[in-house]
Structure 1
Amino acid sequence: MHKIALAGCGRISKNHIEAITKLKEEGLAELVACCDIIPERAIEAAMKAGGSCKSYTDYSQMLKETDTDLISICTPSGLHPYQAIEAAGAGKNILSEKPQGCSLEACDRAIEAADKAGVKYMVVKQNRFNPSIQLLRRAYEKGRFGKIYMILANVLWTRPQDYYDMAKWRGTYELDGGCLSNQASHYVDLVQWFGGEVQNVTSQYSTQKIKMEAEDTISVALKFKSGAIGSINATVLTYPKNLEGSLTILGEKGTVRVGGFALNKIEHWTFADEDPMDEEVTNTSEAPQSVYGHGHLPYYRHVLDVLDGKTEPMCTGKEARKTVEIIMTSYGK
C-alpha cells in the first residue's frame, strides 16, 4: 500500500483526502501525515483521514519523520515549487496541485531538483480525466478534426471579495496570481494540450472590482505553431454565480464544445464522418457539486500506476511548465 503525506489542508485538500480515503478502502494507498501552519486544520484533516494519520505544522519535520513515497502539495501556488524542491531533496515523489508555481524560475529549479533526485514530479490536471474531455481527446488523437483552426476556453465564474479576504496571499502575484493563474489554469492547460506548441501570446487584463493585486478579468490570445488561434477568457465577476467553464475546438472536419460550469457536459459534437464513439456522447455528462469536478480520484489512480511502473505520467513537471509559461507571458513576467 502506498503511503501519502499531504502538505496544506485548505480548500482543495478535501478532494485529495476523499480520493485517498477511497483508495484506502481498496487497499491501494493511505494518508499517513498532514501538514498545515494552522494546527486546527492539520488535526481536522488527520481525523478525516483516520487510522494512524499524524498531523504536523512543520513541513520539514513531516518530510524527515514520515515514511512516505508520495508528497501531495496543496499549499498556496507560489509555494508549490519550493516545497517540491524540498520533497525531492528528501527522496519523495511529488504530486503538486495546480498551478505548478508562480514563476518559471522556481518551476525550473523544482524540475531540476526532481531530475537530480530521481523522483517522480507530477502536477494535478484532473480535468484531463473528465469523461467529456477523455472522449474529446480520443476524437482528437484519431484525427477526426483534421486541421484545427481555433481553440476557445471560457471561465466565467464568480468569487466574492470575502474569498480573497480569507488569506493575505490570495490574489497576489507572488503566491497566487489572478483569475488566469488560479481559476483558469486547468483551461490554459487544455488549450495548450490540444493546440500544441505555442508561438505567440498576448493579453489584456484588468482589476475592476476585487480588491487585490492581480487581475479579476483577462483575455488571452494565442497563436500556435500549427497556425491555429487560441482564445482564453476568464473572470471572477460573473453575476450572480458561476456561469460557464467551457472548451471549444473548431476544426476542418469537426466542431466540439464541452461546457457546463466546469467542463462537465458535451454541448455540441459534430464531425464530417460518423464513428462508434459518437454514441458515447450522452453518457459523458456529469453533475459535479463544485468546479473541481470528480477528477481527483482517477488522477490519483493514474499517479499510483505511475509509481508502480505501469504507465508514464500524463503531466510531469516539464509538461505543467507549459501552462505556467503561458500564464507568466500573459502577465508580462
Structure 2
Amino acid sequence: MMNFAIVGCGHIAKKHAEAINKSEEASLYAVCDTVQEKMVPFFEEYGVKGFLSLDELLEQEEVDVINICTPSGFHADIAVKAAQAGKHIVVEKPIALTLEDANRIISACKEYGVKLSVVHPNRFRPVIMETRKLMDENKFGKLSHANATVRWNRNQAYYDQAPWRGTRALDGGVLMNQAIHNLDLLIWLMGEVDEVFSMGATRLRDIESEDVSLGIVRFKNGALGVIEAATTIYPRNLEETLSIFGESGTLKIGGTTANLIEHINVEGIDDQVSNDLIDRVKSDPFGKPGHQWIIEDMVEAIKDNREPIVTGKDGKNALALVIALYESADNNRPVKLLEESADTNRPIKL
C-alpha cells in the first residue's frame, strides 16, 4: 500500500482524492493547504491528516507520493522540495509554466531518485488507446496532417472564482490550461514538434492571457498540423476534436471532450470492424477515470522501479509546444523548438 498526500485542496484535488480512494494499492494519508477551511471536506470524507506547512508534510515518513494540485506557477518549487525529501511526485498539468521550471523538476527527480508523472489523463480514454494501437501498427501509413480543436466556454465568472486564474504568472490561457490535454494527445499520436506559427488574442475575457489561439505545426516527421483553441464559445462547450490523416487512413475523434469516434476509414479494416469499434467506444467513452490510471501506474512504477507511463519529458514536450505557440504569437514569426541541450531548452525564433 502506497501512501499519497495532496498539496493544494482546490477543485482538481477532489479528482485526485477520488482516484486514490478507488485504487486498491493506494491510500490517501494527508492533505496540505495554506487555508485550513479548504482541507475540511477531505477531513470529513476521507478522515485524513491535514498540514498547513509543506515542510511539515514532507517530514512525514509515512508519505510515499506527493500529488501537486496547486496553481501551475507553484508546481516547480513544491516538486523540487518533495524530490529532495525523497517523495515520488504526481503533478497536475501543466508540469510548470516555463521550461526552466520543468527542467528543475525533472533534474531534481533524477538527482534524488524519485518517480515523476504528469497528469495527462486523456491518454487513457478508450478512444485514444484504440487510436494509439492503430498508430503503433502503422495503419495510417505515411502521415499527412492532423487537426486539434478545443471549442469550449469558460465565462468571466469562471476566471473570477480565483485571482490567479488567467494570469501569466500562475495559470496561463486556453493553451496552457484547457487545450494542453489535446496538445499532449497530438504529440503522443503524431510525434514531437519541430516548428510552429501561431496567432493568439484576448477577445472576450478580462484576463492577462489568451482566450483564443490558432496555430500551424510542423512535426519532426514532416507531417503538418492545425491547432484551434478557444474558451470564447457561446454559450457552453461545443466540441473537442482530434483528426488524423494518412496515406491509408482517416480518423476523427470528437464529442464535447474528444471521447468518441466520429469517423474512421482505414485500409484493411472493413466496415463491420470499424462500426464495432465505434460502438465499443461509444458504450464506455470514458472507461476507467484517467486520474485513477495515473495513480495506479505510479504505484506500479514504484514497485517495478520503472518510469511512469506519462513522464516528466512528456509533460515538458506539451509545455514546450505551448510556449513556442506563445512566442510565435507574441513575435508574429515562426518558432522552432530546439533539441535537448545542457544549456537551454528554450524555443528560438527563425
TM-score class, shorter-chain normalisation, is over 0.9
* CA distance in 2 between partners of 1:110 and 1:244 (Å): 33
Deviation, 1:8, is 1.0
* Correspondence 1:31 to 2:28: yes
* CA distance in 1 between partners of 2:306 and 2:239 (Å): 33
Give the RMSD, CA atoms, in angstroms.
1.8
* Correspondence 1:212 to 2:207: yes
Deviation, 1:67, is 1.7
Deviation, 1:300, is 1.8
Deviation, 1:319, is 2.0
1:204-234, CA deviations, whole angstroms, 9 ceiling, x for partnerless residues?
A: 0000111010000001211012111111111
* Correspondence 1:104 to 2:99: yes
* CA distance in 2 between partners of 1:117 and 1:277 (Å): 48
Structure 2: any 5+ residue segments left out of the alignment? 328-346
* CA distance in 2 between partners of 1:280 and 1:154 (Å): 23
What amino acid sits opposite 1:237 in the alignment?
A: T
1:140-191, CA deviations, whole angstroms, 9 ceiling, x for partnerless residues?
A: 0011000111111111000111111111111011111000000011111111
Counterpart in the other structure of 1:227: 222
Deviation, 1:125, is 1.1
1:156 and 1:245 in contact (8 A); partners too: yes
* Correspondence 1:47 to 2:59: no
Deviation, 1:60, is 1.9
* CA distance in 2 between partners of 1:156 and 1:293 (Å): 25
What amino acid sits opposite 2:14 in the alignment?
A: K
Give the TM-score taking structure 2 as reference length: 0.89
1:32 and 1:54 in contact (8 A); partners too: yes
1:128 and 1:190 in contact (8 A); partners too: yes
Give the TM-score taking structure 1 as reference length: 0.93
Counterpart in the other structure of 1:20: 20
* CA distance in 1 between partners of 2:160 and 2:93 (Å): 21
* CA distance in 1 between partners of 2:12 and 2:144 (Å): 35
| 3-state SS in 2 of match to 1:181 | helix
* CA distance in 2 between partners of 1:310 and 1:264 (Å): 32
Q: What percent of counterpart residues are identical?
A: 39
Deviation, 1:103, is 0.5
* CA distance in 1 between partners of 2:289 and 2:238 (Å): 19
2:15 and 2:291 in contact (8 A); partners too: yes
* CA distance in 2 between partners of 1:168 and 1:324 (Å): 22
Counterpart in the other structure of 2:87: 92
1:64 and 1:90 in contact (8 A); partners too: yes
What amino acid sits opposite 1:322 in the alignment?
A: N
Counterpart in the other structure of 2:136: 141
* CA distance in 2 between partners of 1:97 and 1:11 (Å): 12
Counterpart in the other structure of 1:309: 304
* CA distance in 2 between partners of 1:293 and 1:156 (Å): 25
Deviation, 1:66, is 5.2
* CA distance in 2 between partners of 1:311 and 1:244 (Å): 36
* CA distance in 2 between partners of 1:33 and 1:277 (Å): 47
